[in-house]
């Protein structure tokens, strides 16, 4: 085995060993509750720890300077291995899923999609519910960034992993001189927001356990809940307002939050072009959906706007929380809400989707082409926030959007070929690829009724969307494997 492959094996072994630690917090909770699931979480820990040790120990001393392409392989491999490890407790503990469903549930948690195949969440032990929320917490900022933050001993070249893992078109920017410090700063801000969110939920009437779980899944824009009715279980306007605020914060760039904390100012929020566009989009969509609900006779005006604001922010940040459900809302509202997930939140956030910055660039590039047709000899620039965007970035964003939509169409056709009805097929892939969670048709509440092949396709779509297409698709090109 070459030194390069040995170095990659060493990293994968360390990552599996790191993933083995994930079941420990729910194991402690199970022991505290006197729950029989403690054995399942211990077994999951032991299995992963042994496999990780077997892979890592023989090559622990290997050192090799990995290349940029290795960052893509390690990132994709890390997610796949972490998902497989994370699926073990779902197989061994209630509700004792099949491997297909267990992998789907673990994928949904780690990619912060929030789709589920479980019906009867209220009957599950607290340890299992906490485990689901914990997966969302870890996946929110990204397992790879966590590894870069706490395992600098990997010597893998943190920037390679950070570029492959980070979301958005401006992922090369660093908040601090060292990439490990950048990752730690992002995790500190992320965890701080979760703690504040959990306290707010608790003060609003949630139990401490529910507040902690929902804090992790709100700021992580994941959408996993502890009840089949999701946030609708609490039937509280106050809780909905808190959720709306922290979902929106989760959909903002965490670089902005870091600057706000570091410099004790909010002025840079007002100056950020992407954030201002996201806010305008939320306001416009809320008015459109709210008016549709009011004019359609579904709710009184004030209540219509309340439900519209919550669901718009939930969908555009790809959190996927629901209260009263939106699939049977009148007019264009359900379709608009699903389509909002394609836009997603800001670059550098925990949201899925294409990201506001990319949509902004693509639209302005389209407008530039129209101007160019009218004035063939004119020189027009694509600008964002008053600054010119380089042609290389514009081309890269256009390529990303093309592959994103093409991937969506191919996987939708695959589901349709399996016999899934068209509404369910297009919304299931939209919900999976955009890491949204709830869709329409048979997947409005859960994915339990889909056959195994369709579930595997949706699992792949969730990882593809979380890794923003390029990181995963590059592995399927022959050029990647050529020296």
Distant-in-sequence, close-in-space partners of 263: CB < 8 Å, separation ≥ 6? none
Binding residues: 112-113, 318-319, 435-436
222 contacts 139 by C-beta, under 8 angstroms:
yes
420 contacts 327 by C-beta, under 8 angstroms:
no
249 contacts 140 by C-beta, under 8 angstroms:
no
Phi-psi region of 112 (alpha: psi -120 to 50; beta: other; left: phi over 0): left
DSSP class of 122? G
Residue 150's alpha-carbon distances to 51, 126, 147, 175, 247, in angstroms, are 21, 28, 5, 17, 26
Q: Which pair of structure tokens corresponds to residue 213?
A: 């779980």
CA 94/CA 379 separation, integer angstroms: 63
Closest CA to 445 of 323, 355, 344, 301: 323
317 contacts 251 by C-beta, under 8 angstroms:
yes
**Number of Cβ atoms within 10 Å of the Cβ of 283:** 12
Distant-in-sequence, close-in-space partners of 280: CB < 8 Å, separation ≥ 6? none
CB-based burial, 245-267: b 16+ in 10 Å, e otherwise: ebbbbbbbbbbbbbbbeeeeeee
CA 239/CA 232 separation, integer angstroms: 10
CA 302/CA 293 separation, integer angstroms: 10
Binding residues for K(+): 112-113, 318-319, 435-436
338 contacts 315 by C-beta, under 8 angstroms:
yes
CA 313/CA 321 separation, integer angstroms: 9
CA 474/CA 461 separation, integer angstroms: 15
Distant-in-sequence, close-in-space partners of 402: CB < 8 Å, separation ≥ 6? none
């Amino acid at each position: 085995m070459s030194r390069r492959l040995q170095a990659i094996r060493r990293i994968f072994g360390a990552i599996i060993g790191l993933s083995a630690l994930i079941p420990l917090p729910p194991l402690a909770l199970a022991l505290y509750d006197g729950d029989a699931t403690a054995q399942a979480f211990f077994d999951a820990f032991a299995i992963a720890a042994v496999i990780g040790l077997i892979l890592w120990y023989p090559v622990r001393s290997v050192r090799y300077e990995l290349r940029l392409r290795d960052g893509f392989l390690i990132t994709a491999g890390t997610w796949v291995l972490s998902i497989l490890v994370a699926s073990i407790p779902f197989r061994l503990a209630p509700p004792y899923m099949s491997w297909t469903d267990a992998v789907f549930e673990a994928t949904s948690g780690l990619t912060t999609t929030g789709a589920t195949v479980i019906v009867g969440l209220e009957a599950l032990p607290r340890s299992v519910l906490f485990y689901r929320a914990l997966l969302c917490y870890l996946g929110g900022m990204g397992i790879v960034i966590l590894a870069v933050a706490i395992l600098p001993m990997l010597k893998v070249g943190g920037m390679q992993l950070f570029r492959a893992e980070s979301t958005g078109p401006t992922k090369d920017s660093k908040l601090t001189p060292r990439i490990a410090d950048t990752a730690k700063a992002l995790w500190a801000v992320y965890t701080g927001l979760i703690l504040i969110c959990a306290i707010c939920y608790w003060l609003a009437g949630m139990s401490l356990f529910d507040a902690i779980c929902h804090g992790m899944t709100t700021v992580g824009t994941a959408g996993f809940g502890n009840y089949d009715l999701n946030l609708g279980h609490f039937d509280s306007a106050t809780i909905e307002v808190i959720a709306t605020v922290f979902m929106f914060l989760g959909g903002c760039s965490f670089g902005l939050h870091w600057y706000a904390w570091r410099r004790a100012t909010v002025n840079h929020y007002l100056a950020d072009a992407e954030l201002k566009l996201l806010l305008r989009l939320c306001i416009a969509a809320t008015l459109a959906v709210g008016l549709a609900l009011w004019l359609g006779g579904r709710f009184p005006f004030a209540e219509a706007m309340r439900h519209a604001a919550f669901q718009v922010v939930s969908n555009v940040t790809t959190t996927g929380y629901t209260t009263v459900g939106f699939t049977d809302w009148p007019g264009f509202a359900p379709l608009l809400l699903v389509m909002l997930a394609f836009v997603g939140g800001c670059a550098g956030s925990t949201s899925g989707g294409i990201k506001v910055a990319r949509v902004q660039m693509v639209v302005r590039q389209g407008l530039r082409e129209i101007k160019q047709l009218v004035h063939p000899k004119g020189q027009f620039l694509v600008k964002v926030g008053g600054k010119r965007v380089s042609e290389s970035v514009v081309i890269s964003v256009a390529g990303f959007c093309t592959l994103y939509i093409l991937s969506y169409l191919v996987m939708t056709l695959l589901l349709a070929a399996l016999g899934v009805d068209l509404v369910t097929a297009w919304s299931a892939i939209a919900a999976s690829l955009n890491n949204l969670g709830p869709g329409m048709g048979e997947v409005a509440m859960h994915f339990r009724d889909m056959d195994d092949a369709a579930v595997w396709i949706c699992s792949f779509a969730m990882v593809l969307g979380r890794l923003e297409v390029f990181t995963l698709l590059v592995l399927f090109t022959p050029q990647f494997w050529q020296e």
